[in-house]
Amino acid sequence: MALTTVEPPVQSTKSLAPPPDVITTPCDPWPRPYYLEDNLRRVAPYHFTYNTNVKERWRGRELLDIFREEFRDRPEEYYKDAIDTGKIQVNGQSSTRIAHVKNGDVISHTLHRHEPPVTAQPIGIVHEDDDMIVINKPAGVPVHPAGRYNYNSVVEIMRAQRGHQWNPLPCNRLDRLTSGVMFIGKHKKAAEALTEQLMGRTVRKEYVARVRGEFPAEDVVCEQPILQISPKLGLNRVRANGKQAKTVFKRLAYYPPKPPQPNTDIEEGPSKQGYSIVRCLPLTGRTHQLRVHLQFLGHPISNDPIYANRRVFGSALGHSVSTSDDDEDIMTRLARMGKDEIAEAVAYEDEMVADYNAKKAEKMTGELCEICDTPLYSDPGPHELGIYLHAKKYADADGRWGYETPLPAWALPPEGAKGPVEVTSESDPAKFVQAEVDFIE
């Protein structure tokens, strides 16, 4: 099915506005301060106020302790100053660092917001009717505003396309780094009906992934349970006491390694392993299910910054081994990535090994914003704007409807090689139908 794209208006200037005399809550710049540059969608920095109801785990804790332990994007000295100067308030009033918050309190934080850039690739429209829009989400764009992302999110980009009062209602969620089919409700009734169907067991989901090494030629069923280890870091691992999870995998193609390049000192990587394109059919919907199962099978997604990162998991990358003994070490190493160090998963797994170190990666630059003294990040490199995981198709199990996209560019045969350029019914895993029946029963 052909895709169409619609681009929101972008501002031609990227000048910084001075802080307002009186900061209102919330501020809502319109049109959104987008501009396109270097194949990235950027957002000019702007003032913004977060309002957050006190979470249960925050109750009784000191205000500074909450910001120091729960938020990662600013140093502790920033939060001390923000509390002292009234940028952080409780119930609209200035507070102190040692004030204890309680149930019902609202914490406000006004800051000069710096959003990370995302890909300039537009949101593709797969299908649209009076009730919903089926989109092809670009990799690297979060669905909802979260963390450092606000206007650089699917919801806000679509709102910028269709008008300030339009409220897109996502019915399924993809990880920020994942691309592919998503459903956007146009009104509450349609969104609720579609969400209910998507959360049931009546929708068949198909993904494609590009993984390290030669995936087995026979169909693979992985039924390892998955446990969330750290919500803050987004880390999930196979655990006997985790939630039930089941995925069927079918290899579509294996592309052997290229001949080693002269004058390189890479010890291990695609020059010795090659990569596979794998069809993934999840029968459950656990967070990071495909990424965790593929890592456990010894074939992590090639450029996954978490689960294919040797500097986090070690040389085995968690293959067939996942115990709580090393959780703390893994979380400590993972917390450093993107701050003072460059995530190096790509240095081992991607075909661009030779010139990896010449590419930019998002990390702290040591420079400060001229308005708010916020530490600035460099731009993310191409390898950090998404991973090789794509939601290719969602279809009703009874065949009443189905929506799919073409294979992404990274899943097509490399230059000079032969391989599939589309997925056909003939490539359905032989074990999928039986596995689906067994699971539903």
Contact criterion met (CB below 8 Å) for 273 and 213: yes
The alpha carbon of residue 145 and the mean position of all alpha carbons in its chain are separated, in whole angstroms, by 12
The answer to whether 219 is a known catalytic residue is no
Beta bridge partners of 49: 110
Q: By CB neighbour count within 10 A (0-12 exposed, 13-18 middle, 19+ buried), where does 4 fall?
A: exposed
- Strand ranges (DSSP E) for 357-407? 364-368, 375-377, 389-396, 402-404
The answer to whether 117 touches 380, Cβ cutoff 8 Å, is: yes
Give the closest residue to 179 by CA, choosing from 406, 2, 422. 406
- Rounded to an integer, what distance in angstroms lies between the CA atom of residue 345 and that of residue 358? 15
Catalytic residue among 65, 81, 131, 175: 175
Instruction: Burial-class residue 381 by CB neighbours within 10 Å (0-12, 13-18, 19+).
Output: middle
Closest CA to 210 of 300, 285, 313, 138: 300
Q: What share of the chain is helix, strand, coil (3-state, %, to 5)?
A: 20, 25, 50
Q: Which residues are annotated as catalytic?
A: 175
